[in-house]
Amino acid sequence: MASVYTFYLPPRSSFLFVGGKRALQKHQLHHRIVRRLRSLILDTMEVGEGDRLLYKGLPDKVKMNQLQNLLHDALISTEHVEHCCIIRRKDVSLRASSVGFTLYQDQIQMFVDAFKNPPQTREDGLYFEDRHYKCVRADKNAVYAKCVKRGLVVVRTGSLLIVGTYNDNMYPSVCVEAVEKLADYFKEKGK
Query: Which residue stretches of 12-170 are H helix?
Result: 21-43, 66-74, 105-113, 118-124
Residue 183 phi/psi, 5-degree rounding, is -65, -40
Residue 42 pLDDT:
62
Which residue spans of the chain are classified as CATH 3.30.450.30?
66-188
Query: pTM of the predicted model, to two decimals?
Result: 0.66
Looking at 3.30.420.40, 3.30.565.10, 3.40.50.1980, 3.30.450.30, the CATH number of the domain 66-188 comes to 3.30.450.30
**CA–CA separation, 62 vs 157, rounded Å?**
30
Contact 135, 117 (CB under 8 A): no
Contact 144, 125 (CB under 8 A): no
Strand partners, 133: 126
Q: What angle do CA 110, 113, 117 make, to 5 degrees?
A: 135
pLDDT, one tens digit for every residue, the chain (191 residues):
444 444 444 444 444 555 666 666 666 766 676 676 666 666 666 655 555 555 555 544 334 478 888 999 999 999 999 999 999 999 999 999 998 898 999 999 999 999 999 999 999 999 999 999 999 999 999 999 999 999 999 999 999 999 999 999 999 999 999 999 999 999 999 88
